[in-house]
Amino acid sequence: MPKVQIARKSTDTDMTPFVDVAFLILSFFIMATKFKPDEAVPIVTPNSVSSQKLPENDAVMISIDKDDKVYFSIMTQNDKQAAIDIIKGAAQARNIPVTDAQAANYFPGDMIGVPFNKLGAFLAMPNDEKKKYAQEGIPVKDSANNELYYWIAATRTVFAGKPLKYLIKGDNVSKYPAFEAVIDALKRNDEQKYNLVTMPEGAPEGTELWRERNQ
User: How high is the mean pLDDT of the chain?
Assistant: 78
Please report, for the chain, the start and end positions of each structural domain, with discontinuous segments joined by +.
54-200
Task: Encode pLDDT of 121-174 as tens digits.
Answer: 999 999 888 888 999 999 998 878 899 999 999 999 999 988 888 998 888 888
102: confidence class by pLDDT, cuts 50, 70, 90: very high
Helices 148-158 and 80-93 meet at what angle, rounded to 10?
Answer: 130
Is the model more confident about 96 or about 203? 96
Say if CB 167 and CB 59 are below 8 A apart.
yes
Whole-model pTM above 0.75?
A: no
211: confidence class by pLDDT, cuts 50, 70, 90: low
42, with CB counted inside 10 A (0-12, 13-18, 19+), is exposed
Task: Encode pLDDT of 24-74 as tens digits.
Answer: 665 555 555 444 445 556 555 544 445 556 566 788 999 999 999 999 999
> What pLDDT shows up at residue 127?
86
Is the model more confident about 101 or about 12? 101
> CA distances (Å), 193 to each of 74, 162, 165, 168, in order?
17, 15, 8, 11
Kindly give the residue spans of alpha helices, DSSP state H, lying in the chain: 16-32, 80-93, 100-104, 119-124, 127-132, 148-158, 176-188, 208-213
> What pLDDT shows up at residue 157?
94
**Is residue 140 helix, strand or coil?**
coil
